[in-house]
């Protein structure tokens, strides 16, 4: 007979599953730490490359600045200064030649409402090449507001705004407007102007020609229909006249005697 005695003061607990879970957690954490270290190494190398690129660009920029200062000093010489003045004058002429008054007037014609008159146009080009139009228009406030709305919807005018206004002088004696005449006001407008490219002008011209040809075709069709209707009416009238000449039967009037 075998007797089993338990002399432990505490109950027996199997810690092997807990130790297994701890080992698995430590392995996952070690893997995460390895991935984090690889990521930090990658970002550190990327930062080193960016820093080297920045230093290279700074070196190139400093070289260009030194070259610009040397060129500017060279242009300050009397002989080169004269050439620079001529170049500025020629560039100013080229800017003026690049501005097309005809295209500008065509663009204004598409946006100008009735009752508004353009009295002055002043194109101004800044150092960046942007073109701004200063317009002086005369008219009532309502049509001028319509002009601003039309310019806002036009692709040629950017950010149109009113920068000044004053009462227009009338046509009466002493430049006084009559009492019953509408109040006219001079408005100063500013708008950035974007000239159309040759391709856009060509496309707009083709569309205008197509629309004009379509209108001409419709007018010709309506005229032909009118001529056909007139010819048909004339033919009907002529046929009726021939029937009467050949002795068509005439309905007797009441009370008259028809000979047999």
- What CATH number did the domain enclosing 142 receive? 3.30.70
**In the predicted structure, residue 51 carries a pLDDT above the cut 80:** yes
In the 8-state DSSP scheme, what is residue 119?
E
**In the predicted structure, residue 45 carries a pLDDT above the cut 90:** yes
Rounded to whole angstroms, the Cα distance separating 161 from 187 reads: 10
pLDDT of residue 236: 63
Q: Judge contact between 189 and 206, C-beta under 8 A.
A: no
Q: What is the pLDDT of residues 192-229, one digit of tens each?
A: 888 766 676 677 667 777 777 777 787 777 776 666 56
pLDDT of residue 115: 86
In a domain, 28, yes or no: no
In a domain, 208, yes or no: yes
Torsion of CA 71, 75, 77, 79, to 10 degrees: 130
In a domain, 168, yes or no: yes
Listed in sequence order, the residues at least 6 apart from 124 whose beta carbon sits closer than 8 Å to its beta carbon are 131, 132, 133, 134
pLDDT of residue 34: 94
Rounded to whole angstroms, the Cα distance separating 36 from 25 reads: 16
In a domain, 247, yes or no: no
Q: What is the pTM of this model?
A: 0.43
Residue 252 or residue 85, greater confidence: 85
The token pair at 69 is 């200062």
Q: Which domain holds residue 138?
A: 113-220
In a domain, 145, yes or no: yes
Residue 173 or residue 43, greater confidence: 43
Q: What is the pLDDT of residues 84-141, one digit of tens each?
A: 777 777 766 666 666 677 888 888 888 888 888 888 888 887 777 788 889 899 988 8
**In the predicted structure, residue 55 carries a pLDDT above the cut 90:** yes
Residue among 135, 136, 134, 143 at smallest CA distance from 183: 143
List % helix, strand, coil for the chain (3-state, nearest 5). Answer: 60, 15, 25
In a domain, 157, yes or no: yes
* Rama region for 205: left / alpha / beta (φ>0; ψ in -120 to 50; rest): alpha
Q: What is the pLDDT of residues 148-204, one digit of tens each?
A: 888 888 888 888 888 888 887 655 445 555 555 567 888 899 888 887 666 766 776
Residue 218 or residue 37, greater confidence: 37
Tally of domains in the chain: 1
248: pLDDT confidence band, cut at 50, 70 and 90?
Answer: very low
30: pLDDT confidence band, cut at 50, 70 and 90?
Answer: very high
Tell me the DSSP string of 166-181.
EEPP-SSGGGPPPTTS
Q: Judge contact between 164 and 125, C-beta under 8 A.
A: no
In a domain, 188, yes or no: yes
Listed in sequence order, the residues at least 6 apart from 183 whose beta carbon sits closer than 8 Å to its beta carbon are 140, 167, 177
Q: What is the mean pLDDT of residues 81-85?
A: 75
Q: Judge contact between 135 and 150, C-beta under 8 A.
A: no
In a domain, 128, yes or no: yes
Q: How many CB atoms lie under 10 A from the CB of residue 118?
A: 16
pLDDT of residue 122: 86
Torsion of CA 176, 179, 183, 185, to 10 degrees: 10
Residue 228 or residue 12, greater confidence: 12
pLDDT of residue 94: 63
The token pair at 174 is 């002493």
The token pair at 161 is 């705004």
Residue 221 or residue 234, greater confidence: 221
62: pLDDT confidence band, cut at 50, 70 and 90?
Answer: very high
Q: Judge contact between 201 and 149, C-beta under 8 A.
A: no
pLDDT of residue 58: 94
């Amino acid at each position: 007979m075998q007797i089993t005695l338990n002399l432990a003061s505490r109950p027996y607990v199997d810690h092997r599953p807990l130790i297994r879970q701890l080992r698995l957690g430590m392995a996952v954490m070690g893997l995460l730490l390895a991935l984090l270290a690889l990521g930090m190494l990658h970002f550190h190398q990327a930062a080193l490359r960016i820093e080297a690129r920045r230093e290279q660009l700074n070196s190139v920029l400093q070289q260009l600045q030194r070259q610009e200062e040397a060129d500017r000093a060279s242009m300050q010489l009397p002989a080169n200064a004269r050439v620079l003045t001529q170049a500025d004058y020629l560039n100013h002429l080229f800017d003026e030649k690049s501005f097309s008054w005809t295209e500008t007037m065509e663009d204004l014609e598409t946006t100008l409402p009735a009752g508004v008159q353009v009295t002055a146009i002043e194109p101004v080009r800044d150092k960046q090449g942007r073109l701004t139009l200063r317009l002086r228009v005369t008219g009532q406030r309502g049509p001028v507001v319509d002009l601003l709305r039309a310019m806002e919807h036009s692709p040629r005018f950017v950010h149109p705004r009113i920068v000044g206004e004053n009462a227009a002088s009338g046509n009466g004696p002493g430049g006084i407007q009559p009492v019953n005449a509408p109040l006219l006001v001079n408005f100063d407008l500013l708008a950035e102007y974007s000239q159309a490219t040759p391709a856009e002008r060509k496309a707009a011209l083709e569309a205008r020609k197509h629309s004009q040809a379509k209108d001409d075709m419709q007018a010709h069709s309506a005229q032909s229909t009118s001529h056909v209707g007139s010819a048909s009416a004339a033919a009907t009238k002529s046929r009726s006249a021939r029937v009467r000449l050949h002795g068509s039967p005439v309905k007797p009037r009441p009370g008259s005697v028809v000979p047999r």
